[in-house]
Amino acid sequence: MPEKDKDWRPALRRIEDPIAEDCWEYMTPSGKQRLSRLVVGRQVHYPERRLWYCPVLIEGYTKPRIRPIFGIGPVDSLMNAMTFVRRFFEENFEVLPGARPASSQRPRPPGAGKRSTQQRKPQKRHQEKTRTHRVKGDAAAAPPER
């Protein structure tokens, strides 16, 4: 693993190729209401260290502003970036994904409310396959004789 010296990490000024972007409204652990823009960028190979990283921006949370989240490979760096975002989600309260700044005129969809706890989507039940019934005397449906 790379040494503790922070100078080797790339200094990122912007996320070139975002793969996920959202605004979250939430309450901080100190009780302040906030709105932050979150952006996760596409994985980038960092050959100097034989690593990959995903650039992540969470306004008011990440320092430096855009933080590279590293991994051994592209999938590992993406998993680590999403774990970082998940930690932010779990540290705060009443997180409302999909929030829009006051300047945005787009209304929220009906039924979209604040999530204060983790909620799982109900899983779809598999439909049972229907069986075909054999009719006596039907040669096509009858099993072969032995």
Instruction: Give the per-residue pLDDT at 141.
Output: 54
> 30 Cβ partners below 8 Å, 6+ apart?
none
What per-residue confidence (pLDDT) applies to 134? Answer: 58
Percent of the chain predicted with pLDDT > 70: 65
Tens digits of residue pLDDT in 18-75: 999 999 999 999 999 999 999 999 999 999 999 999 999 999 999 999 999 999 999 9
Report, as an integer, the average pLDDT of 70-86: 98
Determine whether 76 is exposed, middle or buried from the number of CB atoms within 10 Å of its CB (0-12, 13-18, 19+).
middle
Distance CA 128, CA 55 (A): 44
